[in-house]
Amino acid sequence: MYANSGNVIMSLYANAVHQLWKWPKCECNPTGEARTDTVPQLWQPRSGISVTNYISLINPEDAVPCFALSKNDSYVISTSGEGISLFNTMTFQTIATFMPPPPAATFLAFHPQDNNIIAIGMDDSSILIYYVRLNKKRITGLAFSNICNVLVSAGADSQLCVWSIDTWEKKTSDYLQSPPGCSAASLADTNVQFHRDQTHVLAFQERHIAIYEVPNLTCLMQFAPLQASGRITGATYSCDGQSIYISFENGSAGVFTASSLCLRCQINYCAYAPLYPSISAYPLVIAAHPHKPNQFALGLTDGGVCVIEPLELEGEWGNLPLQENSACSSTGHADSSDQSQR
């Protein structure tokens, strides 16, 4: 394959080794251009390392080796039937290796205008669009917006990215800011969920919750729980989008207004716990009922599931004074309970 500059040829051999040939500048070829009357020279960086794809037990005859050069000739993406590798052509250093088979990649192409976007053809007939400079750590959340026509991704590095569904190009990105007294290193997975209006996205980590407006990722409001509550273990919008249900490591759950993140109701663990509760059990996940805006379920670390809603006389969360609010039902542990929550 010729480089886009026209004066370099790169080849990929069956043994997964790449070789790069350059035309030297000399008296008969002062510009170093590719010419048939001048012999190119095999080039290697001073480090002496080679560009070699990973291969293990794969039969070379069964592999479909392929590679592509970026538009500026600075990067090569390549595979010899196993994982895909991204190399720097100036230093021959491996930048990233990803997507081990199956399925195996059978063709690779760089986006003509953005070297960070790669199209990958697979042997199962699928085509993947891969963005090289995505989150630095694993992806922990994804949410689509039909109204804004975007996908929001979240990573363990606290980064939020907004992607256009039409072009799959990144529109913008931002990092969740660490709340006061909480170092970035103590933050964990980032989760995202769109409001029913499809323009506001809820993002939360174990010490921080925030609401953003897309597509510009404008942070509208933030909330950090008190240390006594422990870390946030789950958060979700109610089905009508009026409330946000949040579960905590100390066993409690909170009902917050979606418009201002103000507390409407605090539900203590004793309000929904079975008769002989597990001391170490606490909510690990939370889910909102798809049709009943005042009902949600908690999945506990001991395997139990509790379904919670306001007492009948209360009707909905926050109608009674804060200290009088009560839960109504729990399931998966014991019989229904309407003990006082405060």
Q: How confident is the model over 188-223, as pLDDT tens digits?
A: 689 999 999 999 999 999 988 999 999 999 999 998
What value does the mean pLDDT of the chain take? Answer: 85
Q: In the chain, helix, strand, coil percent, each to 5?
A: 5, 40, 55
Is 209 in the same domain as 171? yes
pLDDT at 127 over 50: yes
Find the CATH number of the domain harbouring 16.
2.130.10.10
Q: How confident is the model over 61-71, as pLDDT tens digits?
A: 677 899 999 99
Percent of the chain with pLDDT over 90: 50
235 occurs within a structural domain: yes
pLDDT at 235 over 90: yes
Is 60 in the same domain as 203? no
Do 222 and 179 form a contact (C-beta atoms < 8 A)? Answer: yes
Q: Lay out the sheet containing 243-248: strands in order across.
A: 232-237, 243-248, 253-257, 263-267
Distances (CA, A) of 95 to 91, 124, 132, 234, 284: 10, 26, 10, 35, 36
Is 59 in the same domain as 184? no
Picking from 298, 293, 245, the residue whose alpha carbon sits closest to that of residue 271 is 298
334 occurs within a structural domain: no
Is 161 in the same domain as 67? no
197 occurs within a structural domain: yes
Is 104 in the same domain as 180? no
Structural domain tally of the chain?
Answer: 2
Q: pLDDT band for 102, please (50, 70, 90 cuts).
A: confident
pLDDT, position 330: 40
| Domain hosting residue 246, numbered range | 139-324
pLDDT at 290 over 50: yes
* Model confidence pTM above 0.75: no
302 occurs within a structural domain: yes
Is 260 in the same domain as 149? yes
